[in-house]
Chains A and B, each alone.
Chain A
């Protein structure tokens, strides 16, 4: 319908605009409606005249009939009065008009209704939209509230947990305390009961005593008094005794303190030594024998080490001499701390470098630095070990030197003195040895001389004997004076022989003193064969005590047999020597006793 109107409004624009001022019901916003209703009331003539003119009446009629038919009004058709005439039959035309009006009215009603419907619907739509937005807002709000509530709930849960744990600990503690209280209470009650029992016993005993009243006197009955265990007599109790007790007590306390102090000092010295050693080692480790990759840091540490070394040079003497000085102790600990810090930094740097190397380089390249690192470490370890040993040795020497607290010159002098002393001693011993050797030579010479002399004497004695025998044989008559003469000869021989015996005594004394010489003395063969060797002589000397008993018998045995002559010759000088030998032995013993 709108389209239809637009085709025609171009013709009726000025009329429509004049109509628009007419007031309508306010619900009619539709201009189409307003425009629609009025052109029929007012200048309808001009509208119709535009459509139908006097020449196109039948066309108009047919056109209108078609229109009516299309509208469903086929029953009412407009007819002309006369064909070709200009008039219309009024009845069908009016019917048609009436039908059209009806239709129009109906459509207007519909329109009104539709408009009303539309209005209503739009208002409900608005209403619904508003409520929708309102509800959305409400929903958001409620969601936010919910999250907030969740949050608070969570926090409260946490709180509950902590409070529960607190409660548990408190309960445990309470339980523990309760158990403690319980045990203490039981202990108290036990003690109280014991005391009560004792009190009861006391009361009973008291009552018993008060009732009984027959005192059994306490006494001691000993058979006899004993002496004290350490044998001393009992002392009176005097103030001197009490003070001596005090003294003894303090003495024992002091000695105990001194002993503990000594051990503590020793420990202290040990620990100080260890610290010093550690410091030296640390300094040595940090000394600039490291590879140049360290660069500036090495220089720094070297400088520091030098400084420390200088300080330490002064320190060492001070530290070891003034070991108990607070200052020295502080210095030592400070320097150790410093060194340790440096060492630690160094190690940390090494660690970081190693880790960097690991991170940066590839696997095959990684191996090499680590290997070199390890090699270096090994080398350093060996060096450290060597240096440690060296330092230890040096420290010992230093300690020795410093113990005597001398400077270098006198130390050297002392060393010289020691060696000198050694030399002196050695010289002395050599001298003694030489002397003894000489003595021994002399003795041996004497001995051989004596042996030679003995041989000669023996020979002389043989000759004597022979002469005596001859005399005897020749003088068969018992001329006693002759025999006495010959015996006096023998005695003179004896007396003569006493001299070498005396001389021999000195030899023998020396022999007795230094009997060891004879054991390894090479027995020099005597110059004459029948002369017995020195060893034999010694042996014969040894045999002297045995033959002393057979002294007298020997004299008688002389004329008996000659095959024991040799033995007798041995015996004789034995006897001779024996008499001197006895003296020799006694002399020797005296010598021994004097030595």
Chain B
């Protein structure tokens, strides 16, 4: 694997455009756009303040730069460098800013989540959405970009608003049976909305597109509940990772649990466990065992090697402090492969920032704090 030279960036703001041709990075208050293949600088824009958030529009023509300190959003065009757009939220402040799926509207969440302002770049019109909820994942767009689900909290009750992204018309507004809604996510086929409660209560609710409650699922009571939720790309499965270190999979026909995966500290039942042993002393070894998956080792660094550990293997687990809130136990990251055959999970406090599958579905990239690992699946040996 070859690496290019190091480019400066701030705030981890470094994104490739959706069409894969350009790379945008933010350095302090400048926005640098490079060509992906040659890494030459194509454009250079200057914002008014340090950029807190940067996002490409879906058609890769525009870039949004949000400056939360000043409550400003600036939009730059790739085709016309002298086109400019500045959105000033005024005294109401800005907490988050994002594109709509059509790439022509910007949704700004004001400070204290007082409201969500929808700015239209086509007509300069403004719409407001009141009482948005401040939670883990309060806004989600469906994959085809037609609908937006937004969590609302009014009079100490949770509601879900479904908007049509075409003209921001409120399609459905219904109350949910959660105590404290923590997040919502559309299924990839856009017909089912999964809504889950905060970690104080294990509750996952499934609503259909028109607001009917299809099913509820609650695995247990009283202990800390759902930590992360993920749909499979075929919309057939819903994986729920919880604080009890288990992943439960629901099927889309009956919405009942079909299987659950455990993450015990002593691994006994998987096929192979690969352990990276680094030759440098003093640095700990990373392990990432994945359930029911055979991994092909890849040597990307001559200094580290992967060796196969004989079962059973004990994972070095650090018991988190139970007195602290949001303890670092439980399943925090779930990722399905693109053909819905494999599920990669991260349990506990391991230093894994993200898990991403390749679109062909047979390789996985693990990003750690200082390390990067590519896993290739040997699909011939898989007999599941």
Contact = CB atoms under 8 A, between A and B. Distances in A.
A184 B222 CA distance: 8
A223 B84 contact: yes
A215 interface: yes
Given A241-B167, A245-B169, A190 B102 contact: no
A230 B209 contact: no
B111 interface: yes
Nearest to B101: A229
A260 B208 CA distance: 14
23 contacts: A180-B222, A182-B322, A183-B327, A187-B199, A187-B200, A201-B112, A205-B111, A216-B91, A221-B85, A221-B88, A222-B84, A226-B121, A227-B122, A228-B102, A229-B59, A229-B104, A234-B122, A234-B123, A237-B167, A242-B169, A252-B190, A252-B191, A256-B189
Given A182-B323, A202-B112, A230-B102, A218 B123 contact: no
Contacts of B84: 222-223
Given A222-B85, A242-B169, A256 B191 contact: yes
Given A189-B325, A242-B169, A216 B90 contact: yes
Interface residues of A, number: 50
Given A215-B90, A237-B169, A190 B126 contact: no
B167 A187 contact: no
A198 B135 CA distance: 13
B200 A188 contact: yes
B299 interface: no
Given A219-B88, A220-B124, A222-B85, A250 B323 contact: no
Given A221-B86, A225-B122, A228-B122, A260 B325 contact: no
Contacts of A253: 191, 208-210
A224 interface: yes
A221 B126 CA distance: 12
Contacts of A242: 169
Nearest to A259: B189
A47 B82 CA distance: 179
B92 interface: yes
Contacts of A220: 85-88, 119, 124, 126
Nearest to A198: B112
B103 interface: yes
A245 B124 CA distance: 23
Nearest to A190: B325
B223 interface: yes
Contacts of B123: 225, 234
Contacts of B322: 179, 182-183, 186
Contacts of B91: 209, 212, 215-216
A311 B242 CA distance: 53
B384 interface: no
Q: A205, A221, A222, A230 — which one has the most chain B CB atoms within 10 A of its CB? A: A222
A223 B90 contact: no
Contacts of A190: 325-326
Interface in A240-275: 241-242, 245-246, 248-250, 252-253, 256-257, 260, 264
Interface string A476-508: 000000000000000000000000000000000
B166 interface: yes
Contacts of A29: none
A177 interface: yes
Given A190-B326, A220-B88, A229-B59, A241 B83 contact: no
A99 B51 CA distance: 156
B297 interface: no
B222 A218 contact: no
Contact of A218 (B89, B253, B323): B89
Contacts of B253: 260, 264
B122 A226 contact: yes
A189 B323 CA distance: 11
B206 to A, nearest CB: 13
Given A228-B122, A229-B104, A245-B166, 6 more contacts: A183-B224, A218-B117, A226-B104, A227-B122, A245-B171, A249-B210
